């Protein structure tokens, strides 16, 4: 697979060509970096990139949760089920 194409556009130019940049990302699978005074501010990326990023973040979060749960259990701490907390505070889980 070829690496994704990345281009840069100054914010001043991005204002006038936003629809074009959206189309380049959506249909051309191009990443467009919006800059101001040469500094990257934001990016317009294909949805596939956003979905891949979300999946990576979910994996990282799951590993961190598992690590913290293991440390919690090693410390001999007790946990309270969500349902018990919800009942105590009269909320639905």
State pLDDT tens for residues 3-13. 788 999 999 99
Neighbouring-strand partners of residue 19: none
| Pair (41, 59) in one structural domain | no
State the pTM of this model: 0.67
| Pair (63, 78) in one structural domain | yes
- What is the tens place of the pLDDT at every residue in 4-48? 889 999 999 988 999 999 999 999 999 999 999 999 999 999 999
CATH number at residue 17: 3.40.1620
State how far the alpha carbon of 82 is from the alpha carbons of 63, 75, 88, 89, in Å. Answer: 21, 20, 10, 11
Domain residues for the domain of 58 are 48-88
Of 30, 28, 29, 36, nearest to 9 by C-alpha is 36
Residue 72 in domain? yes
Residue 10 in domain? yes
CB 40 within 8 A of CB 14: no
């Amino acid at each position: 697979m070829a690496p994704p194409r990345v281009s840069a556009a100054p914010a001043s130019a991005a204002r006038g060509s936003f629809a074009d940049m959206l189309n380049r990302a959506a249909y051309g699978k191009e990443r467009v970096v919006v800059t101001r005074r040469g500094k990257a501010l934001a990016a317009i990326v294909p949805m596939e990139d956003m979905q891949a990023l979300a999946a990576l973040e979910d994996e990282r979060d799951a590993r961190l949760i598992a690590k913290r749960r293991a440390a919690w259990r090693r410390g001999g701490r007790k946990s309270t089920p969500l349902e018990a907390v919800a009942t105590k505070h009269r909320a639905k889980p």
